[in-house]
Structures are given as C-alpha cells and as structure tokens.
Amino acid sequence: MCSSKTSNSMLSAITRTTIRKNAVAIINLISNALTHSLQSGTPHHHGMGALRLPSLTSLSSAAAAAAPRYYFYRQLCLPFRSVSAAKFSVQSSTFEKELEPTSQKPRLQPKKDRVITPRSQDFNAWYLDIIANAELADYGPVRGTMVIRPYGYAIWEAIQDYLNVKFKETGHSNMYFPQFIPYSFIEKEASHVEGFSPELALVTVGGGKELEEKLVVRPTSETIVNHMFTQWIHSYRDLPLMINQWANVTRWEMRTKPFVRTLEFLWQEGHTAHASPEEAEKEALQMIDVYKNFAYEQAAIPVVVGRKSKVETFAGASKTYTIEAMMGDRKALQAGTSHNLGQNFSRAFGTQFMDENGERQHAWQTSWAISTRFIGGIIMTHGDDAGLMLPPNLAPIQSKSYFLTSGLCQVIVVPIWKKADDKAGVLDAASSVKETLQAAGIRVKCDDAEQRTPGWKFNFWEMKGVPLRIEIGPRDVSNRSVVVCRRDIPGKQGKVFGISMESSTLVAYVKGKLDEVQSSLLESAKSFRDGNIVDVTSYSELKEAIAQGKWARGPWSASDNEEMKVKEETGATIRCFPFEQPEGAKKCLMTGNPADEVAIFAKSY
Amino acid sequence: MCSSKTSNSMLSAITRTTIRKNAVAIINLISNALTHSLQSGTPHHHGMGALRLPSLTSLSSAAAAAAPRYYFYRQLCLPFRSVSAAKFSVQSSTFEKELEPTSQKPRLQPKKDRVITPRSQDFNAWYLDIIANAELADYGPVRGTMVIRPYGYAIWEAIQDYLNVKFKETGHSNMYFPQFIPYSFIEKEASHVEGFSPELALVTVGGGKELEEKLVVRPTSETIVNHMFTQWIHSYRDLPLMINQWANVTRWEMRTKPFVRTLEFLWQEGHTAHASPEEAEKEALQMIDVYKNFAYEQAAIPVVVGRKSKVETFAGASKTYTIEAMMGDRKALQAGTSHNLGQNFSRAFGTQFMDENGERQHAWQTSWAISTRFIGGIIMTHGDDAGLMLPPNLAPIQSKSYFLTSGLCQVIVVPIWKKADDKAGVLDAASSVKETLQAAGIRVKCDDAEQRTPGWKFNFWEMKGVPLRIEIGPRDVSNRSVVVCRRDIPGKQGKVFGISMESSTLVAYVKGKLDEVQSSLLESAKSFRDGNIVDVTSYSELKEAIAQGKWARGPWSASDNEEMKVKEETGATIRCFPFEQPEGAKKCLMTGNPADEVAIFAKSY
C-alpha cells in the first residue's frame, strides 16, 4: 500500500481504506466526513507511476541462480531433472505502460530447467514461481489482468462446486445481472466520493459511437441489484429475496498480484433483502459461517472469524463480518466478507415493501463475496519449496469424469521400471491400483508417460500439490505391495513401504492417509497461526509484535483516529474483532480504558 | 435485419452477414474482397436510429386486451385466477436512447392479473410474455442488456452441467481469459474491416485516466486465445491444446431480443489447437455432435446438423458446422456452431509448433460455442399459450439439493382441499408422495402454499413448464391414488385418474410418463419441423416455400452471388448443407447444373 502521508492523513486514510478495500459507493451516513477528508486529502493514486509490478519469473536474477534445487530425487534410480513444466512469459510492466503485448516475443523457445525461489528467501518471488511452475495462471496482455490456466481454474471450480451447493441449501438462487452499469447509478451513491473513480473502468464507446452516458464495468453490483430489486419487491410476501451470481468484476487496481489483486477477477456476490433487521443480521452471520466452514473443512485454512472495525467496514454496510487468514509470510489475507447492509442501500435506491400492516418500509439487506483471491490464500497457506500443496478435500463434487482432464486429484500413481522385462508387470499393477482406488471414489491418476523419468514425475506432481503419491516398482510388484508418500511430509519420513495392493487394505489405508493429510494441513496451519499471534496489553507490545511480522491481539476500545495512528505507525490494521473472545475484564491497549473486546492487528494483503 | 439496398449490395450483404452473424475479425484470405465491398457499401448500422426495440409487455395494447384467457381451470373447485407471477417493467427504448433507467418509476404497484398474447396471434409478443410471466429474464437498465432471473438461470445451469461433463469427457479443460483485449489485437485481424467496429464496446478510461490504447470488451476470444497459445505451444508435444471457457461476451447489437440477441450474453467458447488438419476437422465434427446430442437428448430440439455455405461461414474459419433449430414461427435459430479454423488464426498470430521432424508449422485450430440464446430456442420450440414447456431431461446433473431453490423440477405436487377436515389428510398424502418420488431420484416439489388456490397453482406451474403435475384431493386420499397430468397434453386428455400411491407403482408410472413426455416433445417438434420443410427443385418453388414461412430444401451448386440474390429477394439464407443428404443425382435449383448436395434455405433469427 501507499506509504506517503498527508496533512489530513487520518481521515484520508480512512477514506482510502474504505475505497480501496471495498470499492463501492460510500453511502450518505458517512458522506460528510468523507467529503471533508477528500477535499483536503492528497490524491494518492496519481503519484505512484514509478512503482514496478512484480515479475512472475526471476530466472535471470542472481538470487534465483543461487537458490538450491528445491528437491532431490530419492535414491532409487534415474537422473535428476528439475521441473520444466512452466513456460512463463516474463513481464515487468509498469503502471504507465498500459499494455504489454508479448505476441512479438520469440516463440518456440526451448523449455528450460527451472528452479523456484525458496520461500524463506523471498516470499513474493516464491509465490510467483509457484504460480508459474504449477501452471496456475499467466499474465494477460493488458496490465494487471490474469489468464487463469486449467489447473488454477480447477481450484476455482472446486470452490464453486462446494459453495454453490451450500448457497442453494441455504435458500439462495443463482441469477445474472448485466455487467454494464449506468454511470449515474454509481454517482448516485458516490456523488461525494471523488476518490472512487480511480478504480473504475469506463465504456465510453459502443457500436462505433460515443455513448451519451458512460457505462461502468461492474466493480460490484449493489447498485444494479437494488435497481432491479425495486422492481421485484412490492410486499413482504416477496421477501426474503435471496440471490447470488457468479461473475467477473473489474477494479482498476494500481498494484496487482496474480489471484490476490487483479484488474479483473472472478467471484460470487450474494445479495439478499429481508423484512426485518434481525433476519438480515442472521443472514449475514449465516453466510460468514458458510465461508468459515469452507475454509476449515475444504481448504484447511484456519481463518479467524470476526467483525470489522468501523474504519474497515464495507462502505455502505452497518456491519462487516470477515474471515482472515494468516499467510506463510504472516500477512493477513481477507479471504471472504459478509455485510449486513442495514437499510443503507435500500434507502439510497428506494427499495421498499409493504409490510403486514400495510405500511411501506425500506428492505434490510446483506451482501457477501468470495473471489479467486482465495486461490492465492491456498497457495500462500500450504505451499512449500517443492510447490503447491492441496488439501485432499478440495475437489469438485461432481462425477468422476469431471476431473479427468484438469481436475484436482488426491492420489498420483507413478510406475517405476528400468528393465524392459519389468515394464509390463509394473504398468499392469499401477493401472490396477488406479482402478481399485477410483472404484472406491478416490480421485486418482496414473502417470505412465514414458518420455518422463520417475524423478521428473515426482517433482511435477509435488509442484502440483497432489496429497499422496503411490510408487510401484518391480520389487513392489513381486511383493504385491506399494509405496505411499505424503506430499506434506518430505523425504523418507513421509514414505511408507509395503502397503498391500489388496483392495480392501489399500483403499482403507489411502482413505485414512488422505484424512490424515487433511487434518495435518489444518493443524499445522493452525499452530503456525497460533504461534504467530501475540497477546498484547500495550501499544509498545503491539508495535513490537508487528515489527516481528506477527499478529497482535489485544483489548481495544480506542477511537478511529487512534486506529489510524496504529496503521500509519506500524502498517497494521485491525483485521477484526474475533468472535472468539477471552473472558474477563479488559483494558484498552491504547488508552487503558475499559474494553469489551480484543481486536487483532496485522499487516495485510 | 436491415432491408435497405445498396449499389454493391451482394458483396456488402456478404460482409454484413459475416460480420453481424459472427462478429469476429475477418482474416486475410478474404480481406481483399471485403475491403472492396466495404469501401463501396453503405454503412447500414448508422441509418437505423428510428427502429424500436420490442416491448416485453403489451398489457395496454388492444390486442392483448382482446386476447382470451389462455387457460381455464378444471371443474373441481375454486375461482379462476390468472397468473400474476410476473411483475415486468415495461420498456420501449429506442436506439438513440442509450439508457432507460426505471428506478424512478412508481414502485409498490399492485400485482395485476395477466394474460399472455396467444402464440398464433403475435409470436414475438407471446415470446416476450412467456419470458415475463415465467420470470425468465428482465431488461437491464442499459439498452439491450438482460437480467437473467433465477428460473431462466436454472435452465442455463442445466445446459452448463450437461455440456461441462461432455467437454471434459472429450478431453477439454476449463480456464479463463481476461475480457479486455487490446484494440490492436482486433485491428490486427480486422484492419480492413471498417464495418466491424459497430459491434464493439470500448473501454477508454481506466483508473480515472484516458488509456493509451483503448480496450475491447471481448466479443469473442480468438485473438487473445491465440496471443496466449503462442506462449504455451512450442512443440508437437504441447498439442493438442484443448480448452473451454464459460464467460460473458459483449456485442453492440442494434436490434436486441431477450436471450436471442442481447448486448451482453453468456456462453461457452471452446478453443483448440492441433498438430494436423485431420485432427482439427475431427474435433470440429466431434463438438457439433456434442451439441446435436444435447439438443436432441436433453432439450428435445430436433436440430438439423450441417455445414454452412461459404457466405455464411464464420469469418476466419475454413468450415463452419451448425445446428439449426426450427422455432414455433418456423424461423431458423442457429443454436450452436463449431468451426474448423484451419491455420487462419494461427498464421495471423504466429501460433507455431515444432513438429516431429523438427520443422515449424502453424497449428490447426477449432472454436465452438453455445450461448444463452439456446434458452430462447427452448422457449420458442416447446412453449404454448399456457407458457413454457420444459423437457424432463433438462436438468442439472448435480445432487438433489442443487435444484431446491430455483432448479427445474420434473413433477409438481398440488394438494387440493376445501373443508378444513380434509386438509391434514391431503397435505400428508401430498408430502408422502413427494418423498416417495424424491427418494427415487425424481426432481419434485410440493406446492402446499395456503394463500394460493389450486387453480392459481395449476396455471403457475404450467407457465413454468413443469412436465408433470400430480393432484391430490380428499377423494384421492381415500382411494390411495393420485391424478397425473401431462403438461404437453392440455385438459382432460392429458390427465389420468386413479394412479396408485403405492411406491413401486407410482414411481414406475411417473418415470414412464416423464420418458413419454420427453419423447413426445421431441417427436412433435420433429413432425412440426418435417411438416414445414419443403423439397424444392426450382427457384420459384423455393420462393413459394419461403413466402409460406417454411424452410426450402433443394439441390444447390450456384454461386455466392446467387446465394445473396436469394437472400435479397426472399429474406432467406442458406442455413446449412445438412449432413443427411438424399441419394441420387441432383440438379441445382437455381442453375440446373449438377449439384452434389441439397441446401436448406430459411428465414432466421
């Protein structure tokens, strides 16, 4: 984020936070304060032209060249070959350069052996190397855009499949709103927010003609949703109205990072309208709970659930609930939010209903979203120097055929042979093991490609994050057994020899191991998280914790201004007031006044 | 379409056809002819300002007022109430008026009894009334855009679920490309096609600043796909590369119609690259076959599969395969296309690979798409004056919970009682029938709402197109039986009394009936289609058939110019050279020369 300071820095920072984080219209109830701050604030966005975007590859850098090869092939056989899976276009665009077409580059370049930057050495470079080498995404030709490649998209499909069912089970219907929003809709909401336009992409020409009114490419859909809701909601009988859409959205972000922050991204946005404030609150809480369960049970990410501070609340919301995840570099990632919008948008748009007493009321509303950013969260929570690490439960719920091409598998079977005599037996055994597991509902692939060595395959599938590898060599065939290797425990420690190929033994063993990997990923993320949250009772303790890169948790009842002071002095923001609160009397770490709650402070993405 | 004529009308019409129908860049191999025609042609798009868009509702028109109520409630009970489900905003915007915000309209207007225009009276008004009353879609605030409402979106989800599995089974991976395409990409392909820009929406402002290069909001993705393919394809080992994306696309259409032609629509676009022309051809044929099977087996639409004429071939393709459906007004709807692109795009973008002999070759490519337009095809194939009619097989393949909210059901159970004494027994029976069917995997809902009469419910669920209705009244309860009514056979004829509630009898009976409805829908669409295709041997016969609103099928080996003459004189185009060809020697209907194939001519959407 921008670190420059302004004369009226606190209010301005509040504004920037709400605008940048939420990118929606600021509603009337806070518009006075905002107008004041914006008039006196510095336009941060325009002074950042010289910043560089991270480049996805760093092959030529000294750091990368010096990095050790991240994984050594086990003793068994064959020469080591590092992963050469990714063919990533190097891109080092700047803000000023809107486009970086790469179609003119030399093609047909030979694949090169690749090394990835160790995570401990440069977390950001490591992250980008994983994305390149696991073939999750590539840069699009327009600055800040991203092509989501099949393996990355398969993760998104897994997220979609799980949430889609949960949304429907909780009574929501999918639908689709147009992405072009009349500029007047945005102005209506944001008329006092001069600072909002920097995030908008505008269509000004359509059908070869200058448009009378320019169109906003949706950054979020509250405005158009309310415009339609006013036509569908008449009486309390039309409520609750509970819908969701899966869509692309566009925010003209200044600093982009694949998955975490891109100019265009994919998300779902839920929008609901209710006849009472209690119902809206219940809905907002229900949906953050759906997100939390997804994070814990599927993605093995031990998010902290809580309520945002007033400063960090979604612009337009009465309350914002959030799930906050600790990444491998200990920065916080806001991984999903659910907003109780109160009557703020319904008042701005006139979304009214006739209640049971025949009186008009404004609807109470919620909205909630999770985006492709979550994929970045999975990478940065579980990945290591060998690559991605995928939780076994993260999978499309659909039929077996669903994951055949690019889908996420739980088990990779690698047949190993040197002598031609051994080949047929090994391949037969591998194929039969695969069939056995598949029949038991385990998502499994067999990598029997002959042009790659087993060592290459081990590295490749570790890079892809497959939870279990089964190795089958000639000796295993004669013993009627296999070797099972856990992705999350490197080397010999994660390897068990002599597991019987006999169907009932093997299936039970593999299912048990998958469960173990799933809980182990969650447990290790949990202990990493808990080991990096420091309970603080004073501002100096908070500063020390943040300076060490940790999260600080402490009682807080101070003002918005004091919250902003913390941000300016430490770079940390209140991530949330967690739902789980310690008991007993507390004193505000900043003021010493009584405090009802502890807050968590951290630096964030 | 525009009917004005120009001095150089034929070539101009060719150009318009290819541009308007396909909306992609014209590649070099036909650019000379196009350049010529465009330079001399009239810019049609700019003279159409006075045309009106169809209005979705016609409540106030004399025609609608005079229309009979479309369905009368059976003798059993309760006063008639017509469907008041839809609350549609009247919109009658023109081209010149870019925006038609309706948020200022009076809200909380009372629901009104609605009648729909009879199909025989005004097909277009009937179509729009169905969309409104079945709550499939609504107009968006920006001219030509559409909000897809939950029930309409559920049909799209059913289409997606079926095709998604088929795409994966045939080896394709889903992924996602950015929607913003540098204008230079389009220019590269379309530099000689001045007429193309009328279909583009351009982003010229991003982040509050005028962009150095304007961005096209994707109308289709061949350009950006090839830009990325050049970075991923190096050797024959990288081929075939077979991907698909589900996405929104934008085309600045002059005349719009919900589902059939909208400014923004949803589709899937498959893109593949192969190492040989044979493989590309095989792929293009495979995918049109996937579409055909979907149309026949799921949507019960007996499409004609064939090859487009040169004039109608996708701009950039060597061959275009199509599925053409006959709508209820006997116009043709191009419901899906699959293109063998040859090396046309790979040459334009330099998409090359090293073959097995170490030589560079341009890749052979295909692309193929089906869009939300298909939903319009389902409405216009099966719908009647009582509303939508949905084929029973058209359903999401996912778990039961998947269709709980807005999903498409196969059976609606309506409990009927007058006396309070009967209520509990009837509701119990209805609920148990529902459970029985659900347990057997049938998608069933029970409409036990007390504030609606059975008559209202019958009309409502017929409007929604549910294939079977089960009625249960007090007498049925005492007989332990139910009444089963087919949606596709109105009145008493489609009704069978006394079907036993006993689980095995009922389940078998309902499954059998669903199958019957599915085949019956297909058969009746087939006989309607076949009854409206006339075999012609001369141009005068062709003209007569077209004048009668029918499709004309006859031998054709005449020139492009003669094809365009037919279009200008009759309004009909060659829909395709069908794969199914009559045997024996044929003579061209226009020239009398020998002809290898028959073509089908028809007016189209």
Interface contact flag, A224 B398, Cβ < 8 Å: no
Please check the confidence at residue A108 and state whether its pLDDT lies above 60. no
What are the pLDDT digits (tens) for A522-533?
999 999 999 999
Q: With bands split at pLDDT 50, 70 and 90, how would you rate the model's confidence at B82?
A: very low
Q: With bands split at pLDDT 50, 70 and 90, how would you rate the model's confidence at B552?
A: very high
Residue B31's pLDDT is: 36
CB B138 within 8 A of CB B146: yes
Mean pLDDT of A342-347: 92
CB B287 within 8 A of CB B369: no
What are the pLDDT digits (tens) for A25-43?
333 333 333 333 333 333 3
Q: What is the mean pLDDT of chain A?
A: 83
State how far the Cα of A467 lies from the Cα of A477, in Å rounded to an integer.
23
CB A325 within 8 A of CB A377: yes
Nearest by Cα to A555 from A570, A567, A541, A565 = A541
Please check the confidence at residue B36 and state whether its pLDDT lies above 50. no
Residues of A in contact with B98 (CB under 8 A): 206, 211-213
Please check the confidence at residue B6 and state whether its pLDDT lies above 80. no
- Write the residue in A147, A199, A217 that is nearest to B207 by C-beta: A199
Give chain A's end-to-end CA distance (angstroms, integer): 9
State how far the Cα of B198 lies from the Cα of B182, in Å rounded to an integer.
17
Q: With bands split at pLDDT 50, 70 and 90, how would you rate the model's confidence at A7?
A: very low
Percent of chain A exceeding pLDDT 70 equals 78
Token pair for residue B604? 């189209």
Query: What angle do helix axes B150-169 and B277-293 make, rounded to 10 degrees?
Result: 140
What are the pLDDT digits (tens) for A278-321?
999 999 999 999 999 999 999 999 999 999 999 998 878 899 99
Please check the confidence at residue A181 and state whether its pLDDT lies above 80. yes
Nearest by Cα to B367 from B335, B337, B323 = B337
Residue B114's pLDDT is: 59
Nearest by Cα to B368 from B300, B322, B308 = B322
Rg (CA), chain B: 26
Q: What is the 3-state secondary structure (H, E, C) of A468-518?
A: EEEEECHHHHHHCEEEEEECCCCHHHHEEEEEECCHHHHHHHHHHHHHHHH
State how far the Cα of B161 lies from the Cα of B395, in Å rounded to an integer.
8
Residue B198's pLDDT is: 78
Q: Does B254 touch chain A (CB under 8 A)?
A: yes
- A470 or B29, greater pLDDT: A470
Q: Does A154 touch chain B (CB under 8 A)?
A: yes
Give chain B's end-to-end CA distance (angstroms, integer): 9
What are the pLDDT digits (tens) for A325-342?
999 999 999 999 999 999
Percent of chain A exceeding pLDDT 90 equals 72
Interface A-B: count of C-beta contacts within 8 A:
288
Residue A578's pLDDT is: 98
Residue B115's pLDDT is: 76
Half-sphere exposure of B427 (CA within 13 A, CB side): 10
Q: With bands split at pLDDT 50, 70 and 90, how would you rate the model's confidence at B397?
A: low
Mean pLDDT of B27-39: 36
Please check the confidence at residue A158 and state whether its pLDDT lies above 60. yes
CB A564 within 8 A of CB A311: yes
Q: Does A176 touch chain B (CB under 8 A)?
A: yes
In A179-198, the residues whose Cβ lies within 8 Å of chain B are 179-182, 184-185, 197-198
Per-residue exposure over A164-188, b if at least 16 CB sit within 10 Å of its own CB, e if not:
bbbbbebebbbbbbbbbbbbbbbbb
What are the pLDDT digits (tens) for A457-512?
999 999 999 999 999 999 999 999 999 999 999 989 999 999 999 999 999 999 99
- B4 or B207, greater pLDDT: B207
Q: Give how far A21 is from chain B: nearest CA, Å.
A: 15
Tell me: cis bond preceding B240? Omega within 30 of 0 counts: yes
- Measured between alpha carbons, how far is residue A30 from residues A25, A426, B17, B31, B313 in Å? 11, 69, 53, 57, 57
Q: What is the mean pLDDT of chain B?
A: 83
Mean pLDDT of B278-283: 98
Strands A411-415 and A444-446: parallel
What are the pLDDT digits (tens) for A510-522?
999 999 999 999 9
State how far the Cα of A597 lies from the Cα of A583, in Å rounded to an integer.
9
| 0.90 surpassed by complex ipTM | no
- B150 or B89, greater pLDDT: B150
- B464 or B186, greater pLDDT: B464
Interface residue of B405, B406, B450 to substitute, partner A, most A CBs within 10 Å:
B405
Q: Does B598 touch chain A (CB under 8 A)?
A: no
Residue A72's pLDDT is: 28
- A185 or B371, greater pLDDT: B371
Q: Where are the extended beta strands (E) located within B97-163?
A: 137-139, 146-148
Interface residue of A225, A231, A272 to substitute, partner B, most B CBs within 10 Å:
A231
Mean pLDDT of A389-406: 67
- Which segment of A412-426, B61-75, B406-420, B453-467 scores lowest on mean pLDDT? B61-75
Residue A198's pLDDT is: 78
In A217-236, the residues whose Cβ lies within 8 Å of chain B are 217, 224, 227-228, 230-235
In sequence order, the 6+-apart residues with CB closer than 8 A to the CB of A441 are: none
Please check the confidence at residue B452 and state whether its pLDDT lies above 70. yes
Q: With bands split at pLDDT 50, 70 and 90, how would you rate the model's confidence at A371?
A: very high
Residue B113's pLDDT is: 53
- B385 or A187, greater pLDDT: B385
